[in-house]
Amino acid sequence: MEHFRQYVDGAFEEGAVRFASLDPATGTPWAEMPGAAPADMDRAVRAADRAFHAPAWAGLSATARGRLLARLADLVQEAAPRLAALETRDTGKIIRETTAQIAYVAEYYRYYAGLADKIEGAHLPIDKPDMEVWLRREPVGVVAGIVPWNSQLFLSAVKLGPALAAGCTIVLKASEEGPAPLLAFAELVHEAGFPPGVVNILTGGPEAGAALVSHPLVAHVAFTGGPQTARHIVRASAENLARTSLELGGKSPFIVFEDADLDSAANAQVAGIFAATGQSCVAGSRLLVQRGIKDAFVAALTAKAEAARIGAPGDMTTEIGPLCTLRQREAIERIVAQSQQAGARLVTGGTVPAGEGFFYPPTILDCTDAPEAPCVTQEMFGPVLSVVAFDTEEDAVRLANATPYGLASGVFTQNLTRAHRMVRNIRAGIVWVNTYRAVSPIAPFGGHGLSGHGREGGLAAALDYTAVKTVWLRTSDDPIPDPFVMR
């Protein structure tokens, strides 16, 4: 089996424990991973804190930090095929997606490389004639970054890139499920020449995670995952009063009006729920379709779902790979069964294919008569689409917002004024109009409600890793007047 190590203070090392990682396509062990103990996390945070204050990092100009990020971007691009193969092997994501996504991850590091020396302060036109006042933006300190197994190189880039551009140091904790690509990425960090301790990469269970987020030297916790884990993180971060940015997934509405380009909408819906086997935080898992086109649109989707090629994730012709874990497949099976009991009608899928691996087919449930079925209300993180019909624009908005989540949404219509109204009225951090699942390093993303708070990507993310310092400089040579009066 392949053997991976954690990366702490500029050195590769074994973890406190070792555990086997399973190949989701076969269900068999393929690699041995390091598991961090709380003591490992303590060492990593202390290394990050030393690095934050050391001249090798703190003394670098912002431009020099940008050059290191640019070097990292080049290395990621060069290593993309290997990293993609590792992610496919360890998580089951199909190779055609991991190859394209990881190559694009390099653009995130390039974006933040260019942004590093453009994080600016400001001069204030203060109302006191003998004062000069300006604002400095300074790095907050040590960042704890926690990423899930899905799209982990992308989800780490939107934390690591802005944090390093701002001048922070970071401890990244990969999920115990499929950590291989992030542990391998540590080799690129090392090769890029970042000073020891600036970036630390480990994996571990709940105890290690709790030790990380509650550590007194951690200033900011950036987490991607589920609301339940986020609640634990928020409670644990009360110990150090660390800032938090939380991206927690969602139950995103995908809204199709009668006047939409239905071919384009159907392809976008396939991308939104069946791509990545539905294991995406922005999965368009709730199809809200206008009643007059519902049957025809669902029929078109059914044909696409049934034609999708399920197979080995390493095969470039495969379109649907396995789920990452058996536990996740069992949860999906349970929710699909409960939804049918609640009145949802199975249109296609819903049956586990024969053979090895954690596969689950593209599945469509018509929930028009069961809008409260579990598949409509619960994030499933799998290739399961729930369909609900609507009659009016007002109905579409009401159904779209009938969720405690608020991450992403899609609107398909050729009516420009309607599109603007929908953008205004949908409660979500992202609204895609006549497209879906598009990303860019320039554009921030994040959500509301149970989908979390804070933004990743764009300038907003970099500013989130800074603190504003207000500087007052008195320019008068006269003695300070009455010291008992606030000036």
Q: Which residues are catalytic?
A: 247
**Contact predicate 141/219, CB 8 Å:** yes
CA distances from 417 to 9, 172, 268, 420 (A): 55, 44, 21, 5
**DSSP character at residue 275:** G
For 125-191, strand residue ranges (E) read: 131-139, 142-146, 169-174
Whether the CA torsion 135, 136, 142, 147 is positive or negative: it is positive
Q: Is 378 helix (H, G, I), strand (E, B) or coil?
A: coil
| DSSP letters spanning 128-143 | -TTEEEEEEEEE--EE
Distance separating alpha carbons of residues 340 and 142, to the nearest angstrom: 48
Residue count of the chain:
487
CA distances from 404 to 250, 299, 325, 428, 451 (A): 9, 30, 26, 10, 8
CA atoms within 13 A of residue 246's CA, in its CB half-sphere = 25
Q: For residue 316, how many other CB atoms are within 10 A of its CB?
A: 8
CA atoms within 13 A of residue 339's CA, in its CB half-sphere = 33
Q: Which of 259, 245, 328, 248 is nearest to 292 (CA)?
A: 259
| Cα distance between the two ends of the chain | 69
Name the pairing type of β-strands 169-174 and 345-348: unpaired
Q: Which of 431, 376, 411 is nearest to 257 (CA)?
A: 411
- Ramachandran assignment for 60, one of left (phi > 0), alpha (psi -120 to 50 degrees), beta (any other): beta
